[in-house]
């Protein structure tokens, strides 16, 4: 068995919108999956060094933009640079929701989530979060292709 077998695991592409005080942040994540249906819960793996990992441990409510096909530019813009030093919410494709959380316009779907449990796994922090509300906009979700981004 050879080749990059980890790239065979299928994933979507998501952007996590978070805020801490006046500071808002956006981070691209592919390592996200559903883990419960009653209630709906998701699990997302965030590198422990990322600004988003710090924010989600302090401010548990965040949103997820499920990126649609064709939104690679948003995935790249939110997937490089730390919100500690770069304001990724200044891009024209970014909006702010009623909770004051940043999101990506014209995404396939949106989920509003609240962290319920936090685990450590190697170099990543796992956030199990309940989906409080959501909206499916009917666009085709993007499928993660590591070769396209890295």
Residues contributing to the site for ligand FMN (CB under 6 A): 13, 25, 27-31, 45-47, 50-52, 75-76, 79-83, 149
Nearest approach, Cβ of residue 6 and ligand FMN (Å): 12
Nearest approach, Cβ of residue 38 and ligand FMN (Å): 25
Which CB, 1 or 84, lies closer to ligand FMN? 84
Residues 76/107, Cβ–Cβ less than 8 Å: no
DSSP string, 13-56: -EEEEEEETTEEEEEEE--EEEEEETTEEEEEEEETTSHHHHHH
Which CB, 27 or 129, lies closer to ligand FMN? 27
The residue number with the shortest CB distance to ligand FMN is: 79
Nearest approach, Cβ of residue 101 and ligand FMN (Å): 14
Strand, coil or helix: what is 58? Answer: helix
Strand, coil or helix: what is 68? Answer: strand
Using CB atoms within 10 Å of the CB of residue 11, give its burial: 0 to 12 exposed, 13 to 18 middle, 19+ buried: middle
Nearest approach, Cβ of residue 25 and ligand FMN (Å): 5
Which CB, 31 or 93, lies closer to ligand FMN? 31
């Amino acid at each position: 068995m050879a080749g990059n077998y980890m790239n065979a695991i299928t994933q979507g592409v998501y952007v996590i919108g978070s805020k801490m005080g006046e500071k808002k942040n956006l981070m691209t994540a592919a390592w996200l999956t559903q883990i419960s249906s009653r209630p709906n819960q998701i699990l997302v793996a965030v590198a422990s060094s990322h600004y988003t990992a710090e924010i989600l441990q302090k401010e548990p409510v965040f949103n997820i933009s499920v990126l649609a096909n064709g939104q690679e530019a948003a995935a790249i813009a939110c997937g490089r640079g730390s919100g500690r030093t770069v304001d990724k919410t200044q891009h024209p494709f970014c909006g702010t929701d009623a909770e004051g959380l940043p999101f990506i316009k014209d995404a396939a779907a949106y989920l509003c989530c609240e962290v319920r449990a936090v685990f450590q796994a190697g170099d990543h922090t796992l956030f199990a979060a309940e989906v409080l509300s959501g909206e499916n906009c009917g666009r085709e979700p993007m499928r993660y292709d590591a070769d396209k981004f890295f």
